[in-house]
Every structure is written in structure tokens, then in C-alpha cells.
Structure 1
């Protein structure tokens, strides 16, 4: 493959979707874009970077995949961190640490060359909670700890929840999930030294648990009912998901945070207390939706995601749209 400086003249704008590791969300978006909206799009996986000829000219922003040359107008990447690519490689061990880092950096450069990127930047982990408070959004009191008992007592809450964030991304084998699953404990009797830092939070009593998807300003909300925080992974059939109208206070909180963080897409996990107070648990820029729409018996999230991407593509490629979209992260 040879990409020249003049290659941009022969490249047509397209959407590039990258399923890095785990999940098939963007597969459905690609099908809708191609078959429903007749939008030129390419679907890539990390495996494609080694299985077929792929090249990127960072200067012109031209991508070539198996002989097809495009200019990425919109790039959406999911689960492309090196540790995730390594953990989910099949067969196991087939991707080295160096391979994973090289792939991850290539995909980051691809996103940087695009006119518009999804999901957009976001603070990581507990830094989200620290930044949300000054913006007027309540968050649970949170500690990072290797001593669950001592931290639970110092938190001053009656009950606490212990979490290992993103455990599925680096441990793909469900048989090894037991010690990583979120669990609610009475603070007075909580014990444990997990041997690694975990997130320990106050357990917030609530009237509703919500998952709200932010799609470039649009919102899609589901109410989630589950007997335990780990039920989705231990007994998914007992989890009830209902498509609901997003409460006004929740919508305001989500849009405030997404705007402050420059997020086009994210899955927000929130609680709504009986007093109507919104509590942020997490905003996941790689948040999945197939499980939730399947449990709700409503496939509209995939459609809404495709609509968002289609609109971003139109804006990025039309006259009078984004004048210099490369400045938009």
C-alpha cells in the first residue's frame, strides 16, 4: 500500500466505526448507516489492523482499508485501550503488549485525523465525581482503598458498595469475575483486603436507577430494576429495563456534564432519590446499550446512535457545516 500526498484528492468522506474489543454496538450502527441511511461507512476491529492492508496518511487525513481510500469525516472508537485489546484477543495470547499499544496508537491517530470524533473527551474514573460536584451534580462519597473495613468505617455511611471498575475489559473470562463483582455491604461489618485498590462508595438510597444515553444533545433513558448491583452479570434474566421519559432534573444534569466534558456520546448511570435529587454514579464514553434495549424490548437506541452519526457526517461534509471540524474533539 502506498499513500501519497495527493491521495486526499481521490478519497471520499466516510464514517469509520471501530469495535476495538468486546461488544457489537457499532456493528448495528454500521448496518443502519449503510443500508438505511446510505451513508458511506467502514467498520473496523483491532484484528483488521493485522489481517488486512490498512494505512493512514496523518497529513491529509486519508485512510486506506483493503484498497478502499476514504477521508474519515466521523470516527467512533470503542474499547481501544491496549490492556483491553490484549485481554480480549482471540485466541488468548495472540496479541502481544507491543501489538496492542501499536494498534491503540494507530486508532488514536485515526481519530485525531477525523473531522469529528465520538465519543469525545471525558475525565476518567473518580475524577468524574470530583468534577461533577462543582457543576451542581451530587455524587456518592467515594474512597479508593485496599482496606475495605477501615475505609467503610471512615466513610460514615450505614452501607457501602465495593466496585472494581471495568473489570470485564481486562478479565474476559466470566468464571473469574466473582471477586470483582460490585457488592453492597453493611459498613459496620465490612471486611476485606482485595490485594488491589478498589472503589468504595456510600450506598445511596434511591427511588429509581437510570441509565441515560447522551447522543450529541439528544437523550434516551431507561429505568433499571435489579435485586443486586451484580445481577446483570450473575442473573441477567431478573433485571428489568423499561424505556422511560428522562426526568427534567436528570436531563439537565446529563447535558450539563456532557457539555462541560465535551462528550458527544456517553452512557450515564444515575440515581434519583425520593426527594428528586440526581446522583451521578458514572459516565461511560464506551457504554454499551444492546443489553438494555434487549431487556426493554425496544431496539431504538441503535437507531438513535445511527441518526446521531449520520447527522454528524452531514454537518462535517456539507457547506456551511463545521467550518474546521478538526478543532472539534
Structure 2
């Protein structure tokens, strides 16, 4: 293997299918300002959030690339609905229907990408699910004095890996680990852990992240919900086990060590993240920051740990933002929410 990560993209076992179910219908559009989720039809997190908000008497809208939108002087409208809070989930311009003319396809892709990258400027409401990429995250963490793995980004991995003072190397994508080759069909390009000498024979045509492998006592997935923090301890054999061999993964809801709480809150504030899933390694009591996923899923972790605490926290966060944005309940509170 001389092409890192890319060899995985043609492997059918590493595909993630988010295509809409046959015959699926989107719920009706609320007639009042409400929380809006920019999401695909198949999104368990949004399913749980909308159900929880409904029990609180709060309507919500799931919008996609086919939802009519308007940006005016007062902000952003989706199908005539003005968001009280906007949460961008796994929505990508690549999910748009394909067009036979490549120039048209790329034009549409660029237009959607331009809008999604500027939502903070036009939404007139809190926006969750957007934020800086990996390199900015690592730079901010270093400036804050939070330990991060030694990292290089290179198009010459076989040459530049010698810059890392480590016997084992983690190779991972600079952007998402999932590549949407066709609308709704994602190919996985998961991180690899290999001996450094193996990387000496690698070549690549795209920027690749190489990091030192940090030996550690445990791995934590930490969720930040505008100040509220939840954590899971994750034990897995390989990085891709979360997607390809979930029975080999152990997930435990756990208390958050104070150094991790402090690091999470400082990073969230410095990066401007209302919501994110932070990945840390714990080495001799010290947190080592890996990355923050601004669209990080949580329902799979909850199911494995037999808890719904994070879902309840996320619903309460959205409800608070909705009320702060002038939103109200549209029907009596359901007794199921009590």
C-alpha cells in the first residue's frame, strides 16, 4: 500500500448509506419561528431532538437542499420559517441531485458551499454545527497550552514523516473521514495507525495529516452543549471499529475529569463552538486534544452506554435558545416531558 487512506474509498464494507428511505415524506412546515435543523432525512440525532422538542410543545423544521430558502435584510428564511436557532447537521452540497453537465454540478456545489460557510452572518439566530477546521483547532489548543500530538500536513508523506519523533504514526484525513461519492452514499476513509517506517514508502496527491501516536491511559469523547458537558470513555481496537465493528467497541458514560472540563470549556470559547464533540486522550492524568467535531453524533454512544442524558441536555439547550430568540410553545406541554 503506497496510497494512504484512499485505498479504502472503493471498499463497499466501508460505505455509509444516508440515502432517503423510499416513500419517505418530510413533516409539514411550522407557521411560526422555530428551531431549524439543516439535515438529511436519515439523521437519528435530529429525530431525537425533534421528538423531545415536540414533547415540550416546540415545533421545529428539518430543512434540506430542496427546501426553499431566502436571505433578506432581516435574516434567513427556510420555506417561510425564520429560525430561532439553526443547527447544521450532516448536510453537504454533495448531497444535491446530480446533473449531467459537470460545470452545472460544480456551480451548484460552490453556491451551496458559499451559503453554508456564511450562515453565521445571515441567520440572525444562534448557529450550531459550524466551526474552524482541524489545523485552526490544533493551533488554538497549542496557544492555550493544551497538549496536542505532534502534527504535520504533507503531500510527501514518505519524505516528511521523518519530522515526527515517534515510532508509530496516525494518518488521517484533513477534512471529513467520509467522502460523498454519490448523493447520500458515503465512502469511509478512516484513520490508520502504522509504524513510521511503513510511511516511508507512501505517496499521495492530496494533503494528508500525519501525527505522532500518543500512548494513553484512556480515550474520552466529550460533548459540549453551551457549557453543559457529557463524556463517554471509549475502548476500541482500531480507529475504524466505531463504524465497521461496533461489537468490538466499549462505551461507558463517565464523570469528566476536571482538567478535561477546563480544556473543553477553554477550547469551546476560543473556537466559538456552542456545540461540539471533543476527542481527548488521557495520558498520566493530562488531556491530549485530538480534534473537535462540530457535527459530532451522539445517539450511537448513548445506545452503547444505555443512557439518554445527552439527548435530554441537547433538547433543553435548543429549547433555551428558542425561547431566547423569541420563540414560544405552540401547544400545551406534553406530560411525557415531565
Unaligned runs of 5+ in 2: 1-30, 329-338
Match of 1:295 among 304, 317, 323: 304
Question: Would the aligned equivalents of 1:27 and 1:43 in 2 still touch at CA under 8 Å?
Answer: no
Match of 2:64 in 1: 45
Which region of structure 1 is more displaced relative to structure 2, 18-27 or 158-167?
A: 18-27
* 2:223 matches 1:213: yes
Q: Which string of whole-angstrom CA distances, capped at 9 and with x for unpartnered residues, describes residues 97-141 of structure 1? A: 333333444556665443432326532122211111111211000
1:13 maps to 33
Hey, what's the Cα distance between the residues in 1 that align with 2:120 and 2:305?
A: 32
Q: What is the match of residue 183 of structure 1?
A: 192
TM-score, structure 1 normalization? 0.79
User: Are residue 203 (structure 1) and residue 222 (structure 2) matched?
Assistant: no
**Residues 275, 294 of structure 2: 8 Å contact kept:** yes
Q: For 1:72, which of 72, 78, 83 is the aligned residue?
A: 83
Aligned to 1:154: 163
Indicate the residue corresponding to 2:278 in structure 1: 268
- Structure 2 CA distance for partners of 1:169 and 1:28, relative to 1, 3 Å: farther
Find the counterpart in structure 2 of residue 59 from structure 1.
73
Q: Distance in 2 between matches of 1:71 and 1:200?
A: 43
Name the CA shift for 1:64/1:251 in 2 (closer, same or farther; >3 Å). closer
Q: Give the SS at the match of 1:15.
A: strand
TM-score using structure 2 length: 0.77
Output the CA distance in 1 between the equivalents of 2:100 and 2:236: 35
Structure 2 residue aligned with 1:97: 106
Alignment of 1:278 with 2:287, yes or no, is yes
Alignment of 1:25-36 (within 5 A): 25-33=45-53, 35-36=54-55
RMSD, matched Cα: 2.8
**1:234 & 1:154 partners in 2: Cα distance?**
32
Q: Distance in 2 between matches of 1:195 and 1:287?
A: 28
Q: Does 1:238 align with 2:257?
A: no
Structure 2 SS opposite 1:70 = coil
CA distance in 1, matches of 2:55, 2:179: 31
Structure 1 residue runs of 5 or longer lacking an equivalent are: 1-10, 320-329
Q: Answer whether contact 1:32 1:306 (CA < 8 A) is retained.
A: yes
The higher-RCO structure (CA 8 Å, 6+ apart) is: 2
Tell me the CA shift for residue 294 of structure 1: 2.1
Q: Note if 1:306 corresponds to 2:325.
A: no
Report if aligned partners of 2:192, 2:239 keep a CA contact under 8 Å in 1: yes
